Amino acid sequence: ESNSFCTLLQEVSPFPPSSMRAVALTAFAVALVAAVATATPTKPVVSDAYTLPWSYLKEENGQLSVVTSEESSGRTVAKAQWNESLADLGWDYLNVEGSGDYNSGYLEGYLTAARIRLAGIPAAPSDAKVFQWVVDHLAYMKQMSEALRATDKFWAVVGDQLSYLDGMADGVNANTAARTAGDKNVTSFELFLINFGDEIGDVQTAVNVQSGRTPKGFMQSWKPSHCSALIKVTHDDLYMAHDTWSGFEGMAYRMYKVYSFHGVTVSFSGHPAFMASGDDWYMTSNQLAIQETTNGVMNTTLFTAVVPHTVSEWLRVMAATFLANDGETWTTYFARENSGTYNNQYMVVDFKVYSPGSTVAPGTLWVAEQLPGIVVRADQSAVLREQGYWASYNIPFYAEIYALSGYLQDYKIFGDFYSYTKYARPEIFHRNQANISDLAGMQRMMRYNDYETDPFSRVTNCSGAPDGRCLTPQSSMLTIASRGDLMPLYNTTEEMIQHYGPLYTFIAQGCFGAIDSKIAAWSNRHTQRAYVISGPTNDQQPTFQWDAKSCAGIAAPRGTPTTVDYPWVEFNRVRDPIA
């Protein structure tokens, strides 16, 4: 059984004395009450997606056609609901039912072709070694899935997903109405690169390390992958919530997706052409809820284990999500064929095991953390039972992962920013989670950013600044729903260090932050109802606008509003059952 972080904490990262914590909490109490009063969420807009009309993919004499009537001639091989609700809700909606392979992908590609083209088609990797790595990687997965699909469910799902990409590309190309001048046919390789986008940077690092090149700096590669996540037990419910942190361009074309394949329905937050969430955040008809936050890998020697003959992280996640009926099985599938790319902490909540008012039972929460060459996984229901919550914030929980990835070394150098307990977000989660008793409390928690007055949003390492004190002492990045656009902009490294200290890369001004929130609940496990919101928080902060001040030199992505102020949205997979 893997060691938790608790033993390591006694050596390198103890909580501050209880008296110091009490002072901080007392000083902040009045401000917190005022902030909560102004941050009450609006009631979610209900999107009864199950009422949307269906489109059908028909096959007749070897030809495929998309129609709006099931009575049309031909055999129905897939069906879908598609709603372009981005302008009003901040999310488009897609629901696909079928076999989960080529035909399902074709229908998604056809219906969402305009959005896929609007979001952009990536270029092939310019580094020849990276390009060849990806080519070899794809060839291995196709070969293995073809050879083993009849006897191994894991490889069968991987093969179906790759076939889905082929269908999606053909569907996009078949929708000529979605083309604009200069548009070319898309390829399944390009669509694979879209799904592989969170992993390609790790491949580049691996190629550099294995070739003896200087790897890309950690501070440039880790920041785009931050997220905040919380699992909370209340007196009558169990919640799982997640905030995606990314460049603000990432909120441009959000899409809420539902896939019903292999006898399982999976709902997730995503983007055009994404076959996996990427955030990641999922709900399944097997009553599982899955989410992750990304961990950095500062120890670049680990990247010698990143090799092509593995399975992409996103494909392993989707295989596990479709195949697993509990957290242990999910983490078992996930650990297979470890690519060592997009290294995350995954949390799997099994709503079937939970019963309101009862002790949190074993199997309620499984946690897996991946590095190149290793996946550590274990049942962490006991932590959820003892604390009443589980928080995740881009710092590894398992002592082995924490030390091996380089966090322990960086904690010794840079201090609390790398501490599992004393970094800003664990402190804020620990304090504020006690106020959560219902959905509204979870909404407040996940949209929380009161950095100007919160003592835990204070920059803790100001070495290099005048007198060891940062000229900008509080950071809007040191909180749950970060807003890098709110910080002052300085042009030189010297100015950055004076104002923000040596970790300025992470806490200074930038067009970066929390771009959404998603909440699942035990009480909604049968309908897979989700509560989601797109855009940076404006609970305690001004509404985000694309302008020279917030994102210098970056315009609002094409087809999106200048002011981002979307409501909370409630998505239902099916109509509520009649009591």
**Cα dist from 133 to 80, 127, 204, whole Å:** 35, 10, 9
Peptide bond into 280 cis (omega under 30): yes
The rounded radius of gyration (Å) of the Cα atoms in the chain is: 23
Q: Give the integer Cα–Cα distance in Å for 289 and 243.
A: 15
**Cα dist from 566 to 257, 272, 412, 498, whole Å:** 18, 19, 42, 36
Report long-range pairs for 376-382 (Cβ below 8 Å, ≥24 apart): 376/2, 376/400, 376/401, 377/2, 377/331, 377/332, 377/334, 377/335, 378/1, 378/2, 378/4, 379/327, 379/328, 380/4, 381/353
Instruction: Count the Cβ atoms, other than its own, within 10 Å of residue 129.
Output: 15
Tokens of 356: 């309101």
Tokens of 488: 């002052």
Q: Give the integer Cα–Cα distance in Å for 254 and 91.
A: 5
User: What pLDDT, on the 0 to 100 scale, is given for residue 313?
Assistant: 99
Q: Bin 143: left if φ > 0, else alpha if -120 < ψ < 50, else beta.
A: alpha
Handedness of CA 429, 434, 435, 437 (dihedral sign): positive
* Fold classified for 6-44+197-571: Penicillin V Acylase; Chain A (3.60.60)
Neighbouring-strand partners of residue 233: 238
Collapse the DSSP code of 68 into the 3-class scheme (helix H, G, I; strand E, B; otherwise coil) and give the result: coil
Q: Which of 414, 410, 321, 336 shows the shortest CA–CA distance to 370?
A: 336
User: What pLDDT, on the 0 to 100 scale, is given for residue 4?
Assistant: 39
Tokens of 8: 């390591």
CA atoms within 13 A of residue 565's CA, in its CB half-sphere: 10
User: What pLDDT, on the 0 to 100 scale, is given for residue 216?
Assistant: 54
Q: Edge-to-edge strands of the sheet including 63-67?
A: 63-67, 55-60, 75-83, 92-98, 255-261, 264-270, 281-284, 288-294, 344-350, 365-371, 374-379
Collapse the DSSP code of 306 into the 3-class scheme (helix H, G, I; strand E, B; otherwise coil) and give the result: coil
Residues 502 and 480: beta-carbon distance below 8 Å: no
User: What pLDDT, on the 0 to 100 scale, is given for residue 566?
Assistant: 95
Tokens of 407: 């966090």
318's enclosing H/E stretch is helix 313-323
User: What pLDDT, on the 0 to 100 scale, is given for residue 213?
Assistant: 84
The residues, ordered by sequence, that sit 6+ positions from 347 with a Cβ below 8 Å of its Cβ are: 229, 231, 240, 290, 291, 292, 365, 366, 367, 390, 392
**Domain spans, the chain:** 6-44+197-571
Can you give the pTM of this predicted structure?
0.92
User: What pLDDT, on the 0 to 100 scale, is given for residue 219?
Assistant: 39
The conformation of residue 505, written as its DSSP 8-state character, comes to: H
pLDDT along the chain (579 residues), means of 10: 36 35 44 47 76 95 96 95 95 97 98 97 96 99 99 98 99 96 96 98 97 63 69 98 96 97 96 97 98 96 98 99 99 99 98 96 99 99 99 98 98 96 98 97 97 97 91 96 94 93 92 97 95 96 89 88 95 56
User: What pLDDT, on the 0 to 100 scale, is given for residue 215?
Assistant: 63
Q: If you write DSSP's letter for every residue of 533-559 in order, what string do you get?
A: EESS--SSSPPEE-STTTSTT-PPPTT
